[in-house]
Amino acid sequence: MLRWLWRAVLALLVLGLLAAGVASWRFARYAPADPAIAPDTKAQAYFIDDYASARQAFLDRGAALAQRLERVERFAIPVASRQGVPGLFVDGLYLPAQREPRRLLILSSAVHGVEGPTGSAVTRLFMDEFISDALLADTGVLLLHALNPWGFAQQRRFTESNVDLNRNASTTDALYQTQNAGYPMVDPLINPQGPADLGAWAHRLFLLRSIAQIAQHGMPVLRQAVLQGQYAYPKGIYYGGRTLEPQLAALAPRLGAILAQYPLSMSIDLHTGYGARGQLHVFLNPPENPRLREGLEAVFAGQTIDWGSGKDFYTVTGDVTAWIGALRQTGAHLPAVFEYGTLDSQTTLGAVKSLHITVLENQGVQHGYASAEDEARIQRDYREMFNPSSPAWRTKVIHDSRAMLGHVLERLPKVSVQP
């Protein structure tokens, strides 16, 4: 009898280990399939990985528009680098409504630097295909290229000070006192110490350790703890800083002056990394004011919206789109984010993989790498997560953006929001 019991326990143990081994093996090789779409070379040509070249392509188009249109404003906010990275700017192009200023549309990119190639590509698509005399008759357009140029140039999500700009944007300093109660609980998992080593057991077992945490606390609690933003761990991921980052501080008065000229504004902040691979997710944090929510619903009528209040969702503190709205003294602002999914992060495996890639990259930046091979692998995975090289993915981004921007421009003029 005892022998039977012993054998059963042993069999279960072996089965458990096998299952864990298979899961970890799958995790290590995780790569969701590309969207089924024939690659289009013209669409792919919008993607420029190198910051300086992407910036120049934006500036060249801006110069051409300034020749053709009245009262165009171009500005460049320099971003100083402690390491001495030269040529970093937040570039702005403001095309005022040419007859009657009824509404303002803002597109912003590279708030997360490494996501910049996609944001820059979509911005230039917009410049090539959607700026027309008819649009500009009563709609002003403000394009903000590379809010985190250091991160774009260095292929990091965060700024040189390890600040996540999308957790840092606030009109008051109260944000930086925010306590993220769940963060200390996840800190050992997401901010490991010592050089980043892909062979370390902590990383080999990252999936299982994450699943143990999910089992203990539940996915919504963990997601919120990790992604909300934090203000107490300067070397940790999703750090929102202690004060407003210099380029946002420099941008604020300029933005405020332009916003004041329009009774209604809408901003679309361009991001990658969240959601189903190759899919454009319209990602909205529901505004407290129900009329603003109705306004957003009217603009995106017929489209799937990922509301920040949904079950798979989380709320963030210090996001850029809400900050732009807070710079208004009067009038109404509709904040929106476009997220182009890369790793199917809506699935548990995809979410844990995305987190692991983020954790390894930050560990490497903060504490170095165990080997040159590990460094190359970690940085490649990180770049592929936020700036996929896949021709099908890039084609889909441009095609979907063209359709969605067309939809927004058709609906926005019909929307009136009483603040």
Nearer to Zn ion by Cβ, of 167 and 271: the residue is 271
Q: Which stretch binds Zn ion (CB under 5 A): 31-39, 80-88, 109-117, 234-242?
A: 109-117
Closest approach, Cβ 84 to Zn ion, in A, equals 26
| Residue whose CB is less far from Zn ion, 140 or 275 | 275
Answer yes or no: are the C-beta atoms of 407 and 267 closer than 8 Å: no
Smaller CB separation from Zn ion, 95 or 343:
343
| Cβ distance to Zn ion smaller for residue 61 or 271 | 271
- Alpha-carbon torsion, ordered 330, 168, 119, 183, to 10 deg: -130
Nearer to Zn ion, 156 or 396 (CB): 156
Stretch that binds Zn ion, among 148-156, 222-230, 243-251, 264-272 (CB under 5 A): 264-272
Select 271 or 353, whichever has its Cβ closest to Zn ion.
271
Residue 128 CB, nearest distance to Zn ion (Å)? 24
Radius of gyration of the chain (CA): 22
Q: Residue 149 CB, nearest distance to Zn ion (Å)?
A: 15
- Crossing angle between the packed helical segments 183-190 and 348-367, to the nearest 10 degrees: 70
In the complex, what is the shortest distance from the CB of residue 337 to Zn ion, in angstroms, rounded to a whole number? 8
**Which one, 35 or 273, has the nearer CB to Zn ion?**
273
Integer angstrom CA distances of residue 181 from 40, 176, 178, 228, 231:
46, 14, 9, 10, 11
Of 55, 61, 103, 112, which one interacts with Zn ion (CB under 5 A)? 112
Smallest distance from Zn ion to CB 115, Å: 5
Distance CA 73, CA 126 (A): 18
Quick one: 112 or 277, whose CB is closer to Zn ion?
112
Minimum distance from residue 179 beta carbon to Zn ion (Å) = 23
CA–CA dist 111, 118 (Å, integer): 12
Question: Which stretch in 64-72, 108-116, 393-401, 405-413 sits in contact with Zn ion by CB under 5 A?
Answer: 108-116
79: helix, strand or coil? coil
Pairing of strands 264-272, 332-340: parallel
Percentage helix, strand, coil for the chain under 3-state DSSP, each rounded to 5: 50, 15, 35
Binding string, 64-103, against Zn ion, x = CB under 5 A?
----------------------------------------
Q: Minimal distance in Å, beta carbon 386 to Zn ion?
A: 7
Token readout for 292 is: 């603003």
Q: How far is the CB of 96 from Zn ion (least distance, A)?
A: 29
CB atoms within 10 A of CB 201: 9
Site for Zn ion, residues 8 to 67, rule: CB under 5 A: none
Tokens of 141: 């357009």
With CB under 5 A as the contact rule, the residue among 61, 156, 254, 271 that binds Zn ion is 271
Query: Cβ distance 285 to 336 under 8 Å?
Result: no
Asked whether position 281 contacts Zn ion by CB under 5 A, the answer is no
Contacting range for Zn ion; rule: CB under 5 A; set: 28-36, 52-60, 113-121, 242-250: 113-121
- How many amino acids of this chain bind Zn ion (CB under 5 A)? 3
The token pair at 408 is: 């927004």
Name the one range near Zn ion by CB under 5 A: 49-57, 79-87, 111-119, 376-384.
111-119
Q: Distance between CA 230 and CA 387 in Å, rounded?
A: 25
Q: What is the DSSP string of 295-319?
A: HHHHHTTTS-EEETTSTT----SS-
Residue 337 CB partners (closer than 8 Å, separation 6+):
268, 269, 270, 271, 282, 283, 284, 319, 321
Query: Shortest Cβ distance from residue 369 to Zn ion (Å)?
Result: 24
Q: Helix, strand, or coil here: 255?
A: helix
The CB-of-273 to Zn ion minimum distance in angstroms stands at 6
Could you tell me which stretch among 13-21, 106-114, 187-195, 318-326 binds Zn ion (CB under 5 A)?
A: 106-114
Amino acid letter, residue 243: T
Interface residues with Zn ion (CB under 5 A) are 112, 115, 271
